[in-house]
Amino acid sequence: MADHYEVLGVSRDATPDEIKKAYRRLARELHPDVNPGAEASERFKEVTHAYDVLSDPKQRQQYDLGGQGGFGGAQGFGGFGDIFETFFGGGGQTRGPRSRRERGQDALIRVEVGLDEVIFGTHRDLEVDSAVLCETCNGSCCQPGTSPVTCDICHGSGQIQRTVRSLLGNVMTSSPCGTCRGYGTIIATPCVTCQGQGRVRARRTVPVDIPAGVDTGLRLQMPGSGEAGPAGGPNGDLYLEIKVKTHDVFSRNGDDLLCTIEVQMSDAVLGTTTTIPALDGDVDVELKPGLQAGEVITVKDRGVTRLRGSGRGDLKIGVQVVTPTKLSHKERQLIEQFAQAHKPQKPQLSHFQQGLFARLRDRFLG
């Protein structure tokens, strides 16, 4: 068998580009459609086989180490399934040219929103850096005024068929054309803006309506808002991962909003009304006489709008009664009079009671 390097007319230390250029030159000269002679046909097969071996780094390394023909016998395959796949192209069917147009990749960005924005939803104009359609060539990959040309090696089929001697005898094998890489066409004059890709990277603005009721970790899908595909292919999808910022006063449990109010001892005894500045406006709250520490006051329909379903959750206000630590002389006298009027007795053991925060937790969540 002739030396593959001699067949292509290159040195043994030739670069992949030099090997490719040599093959293209010989393939155009010896192709059966150009040179129909039997001798040229055999020469074409020999040149193509040599290129198949030397253009594959693994086969070339094996050949340089003394392998036979670059295939290495039956050991070069993972089994008979690989043999038939290589020889017959998967079931013996001839593949057509593959399309340059491909779907773009999906993109993921993280969006941080405030707890107040979660109640009714919000709108954002997001700046996204991604692949977009090339405006110069409009996705054609070609310089304006030009178009892809049919490959003169595979004549637009994207496949090269040839007869190869193997363990099974002479068989017909089909493989992607090395000249056009299986596309069937060649971009002779690529677009200078996108370098023949049909897309460029750019910053664009994506308007987003974030629905009410979202929570940290939720992902919203925006079909067709992701990366533009090569050669004018369809866009992928854009996914928004939500993170809700922690609030200093309010927290969230499902669709309910939770907060704590500090009540003076006198107001807890006598009762009063107060106004709380909630996330969506003021809320009037009635504190009934005899209010106990750890009680939870529920204000209906002032929580978060439900993401799925209708209506809103509740606002739950935990009560913390504040015991004064510094008293004036007059205030102390009044407290003492109050204590005498209620027949004071010494502190004594009672049934176990949970602490304030434990009670608030159980009542909030319970």
Q: Is 141 annotated as a binding residue?
A: no
Q: Taken in order 52, 53, 56, 59, is the CA torsion positive or negative? A: positive
CA trace torsion 351, 354, 360, 363 (10° rounding): -60
191 labeled part of a ligand binding site: yes
Give yes or no for a contact between 268 and 336, defined as CB atoms under 8 angstroms apart.
no
3-state class (DSSP) for residue 39: helix
Given a contact cutoff of 8 angstroms between Cβ atoms, the answer to whether 295 and 319 are in contact is yes
Neighbouring residues of 264: CB distance < 8 A, sequence distance ≥ 6: 321, 322, 324
d(CA 215, CA 278) in angstroms, rounded, equals 19
Distance CA 322, CA 269 (A): 12
Task: Judge whether 142 is annotated as a binding position.
Answer: no
Distance CA 5, CA 196 (A): 32
259 labelled ligand-binding: no
Q: Could you give phi then psi for residue 22, rounded to 5 degrees?
A: -65, -40
As annotated, the binding site for Zn(2+) includes 134, 137, 151, 154, 177, 180, 191, 194
Please state the residue numbers annotated as binding site.
134, 137, 151, 154, 177, 180, 191, 194
